[in-house]
Chain A
Amino acid sequence: MNEKMRMSIIYTVLVVFGLMMIVPFIWMISTALMTQSEFNKHESTFIPKEQYYVWDKDNGDEQKVLLVMEKGDISIVHILDKDGKIVSEYQEAPTKQVRLVKKVPSLHWDNFVKAFKKVPFGLYFANTLYVSFLSLIGVLITSMLAAYAFARMEFRGRDFFFYLFLSMMMVPEPIYLISSYVLLDKIHWLDTYQALIIPWCVNIFTIFLFRQHFKSLPQELFDAAAIDGCSTFGMLWRIMVPLSKPIIATASIFSLIGSWNSFMWPLVMTNRPELRVLQVGLSYFNQEASTQTTLLMAASTFSIVPILILFFMAQKQIIASYAKAGLKD
């Protein structure tokens, strides 16, 4: 097998599997742009179409007609003038007089507006942003402080604490979900913002990342700073933080993606609709609007768009971060 053949086989396989990976997204977006009856009648798979008809009037004049099918079996016929403006509309298509001319793609962007208005997604977005950013700030502060001590200070019990931290990382969330609920109930934190933020202001993995990085900084830097009279905290703030921008970026990405997508915890710990974060709001919408497929798809689309934008903007950095973090273990 020559090199050219081999390469074309490789690319074919990659393209086929690549399509399989993104087909759900493509289908999500195209379904979000259909009318519900179009989806239910299974007329279009990927490209939303509406049907334009020409109505043969008695006198032989032709008029452009837009057939929109809404709500079950009721068909509404819009009669359009030359500019495409709706002149009048009828229920039930007078099928005998209507002749199909062509099908053209027609995208229903209003599904997004409808979905967004149906439940207060704006509020859910705001809640998610609020929770994500506050816990990100918390994670960065607690991680850098702890990592500084673990990496560059000597104290009794350092290894003990470090391994205690690491072993806590090994315990999966579902294990302590029930007892966390009981605990938050006892301290009256259920149904509050702090229940969504404070417990997630620490991230053991991030401590680990910062510790590795702080350890790699040369000692001379600190000696020089000490001679210049820099305080211990000053070293962290003036030397290590500015030198840790890539790690801060990595940690922020993990933290933001993690809290944006977190679901089980907010689902369990909050009940009031005002406190719903995006994922929880979306899951309630999934129950309430289970038959309104197109709106569900629209809501799913706009709920993943912010993360996808973040991902596309920094995809090299994000992928490299995940790869590196995986190898460090």
Chain B
Amino acid sequence: MKRFCCLFFLVAAMLIAGVSRASAFQQQQQEFPEPPKTQETGDIVLRPTPKSDNGIFKKNEEIVYRLKITNNTNSYKQGKISYLLTSDEGKKVRLDSVHLAIRGNSSKEILVKMLPKPAGFYRINFMVNTPDYDDTVRKVFGVNPQEIRSQLHKPADFEAFWKQSRVQLEKVAPRYRVLEREDLSTDRKKVYSVEMHSFDDLVIRGWLVIPRDGKKFPVHYRVPGYVVSLNPNMDSDDFIAFDINVRGNGNSKDVINIGTDNYCLVNVENRDKYIYRGVYMDCIRGLDFLCSHENLGIDTSKIFVEGGSQGGALALITAALDKRVKLLTMQVPLYADIHDNMNISASYDKQVFPFKVFRRYNDIHPGFTWDKFFSTFDYYDPQNFAPMVKCPVLMGIGLLDQFCPPRCSMALFNHISSNSKEYICVPNSTHEVNMEYFMFQNVWLREKFRIP
């Protein structure tokens, strides 16, 4: 009996110890989450980790980073460790430094503490300078981003413009063509190629994937990133997956077939002919297709729209313009708060999309003023659509994103009218989110749609 009890408690204790250790590790992670394991090379490596696991601090909370310094050389190093804190528009907030002395092949940690900051996003550059080595590690943190406010530059006839666009779209007969692609179908899923006529009578295409194991499914409606080709989405077992290639993307390049450098510039000087008018309407036409094909097992009461980058913007606009969308998930939405995006991007050492493209166009077109740019783009800024979104929303952002600065994404998010909205910050991501976000998105979707 004693042996039985001993063995039993040994097993139980091992489990509990394992769990406690895991728990303690997690708590430690929450205090200072481990940065992702990457191949970092260099004589001296800096690994800063924010105290909050998602890089977001509260308004009255002290900003704390744990900075791990590793000397990968065999020799003793002396120099300086410093950090430069700026606003996300590059305005200097604080510069501080400490003396560095570190033995060869060793590491040490220091805590970097800053006073609480007002709501917003801040860039923090950690720098190491020795007589023979310099390096900088760039991070971004946020403070109460849900308090970020931005000005809406919404034209007076914004609603009328889009109402008129819908009217024009409705005048185009969709002439749907649905073709089963047995060569792409599997034992578990049927794949259809879908074709339809959209705004200005352009033909656009998409991919419909229907699980064979069931009769009626909610729909995962995916809209594309910037000049990205969407293919049949075979990953979703509990949803019908519909992926649309808007004009100029994927297999919808019959008329518009241009590269990434010029896509967003097509007719940028003409509000009525700008390419995104048709693109936004293509997304609505995709919804029209879904809602007119219930016979394929589409549960039209459960359509969720999703996209990343340009797709994030398209998803939001689709949900704003059409109440047939019941849930919206978007990652790193492009073009959000385009005015502030321009100001923030002006501070970058090197220009990145989208203002890299817009500035180049501005440089080579003397008559094209920024006022003219905004007189068109204000009709297309996703932020101006945000108040029209009423359905539940999930948004993911990367704090190191320069294409879609976190402030602009959060400004957009804060303008969304829905009273059921959540966001996730991924601190070490640039223009992307991580697997944890998608794991949560899966939970979130099942919760909202009550999917078993």
Q: Do A and B belong to a common assembly?
A: no
Q: Which residues of A contact B (CB under 8 A)?
A: none
Q: Which residues of B contact A (CB under 8 A)?
A: none
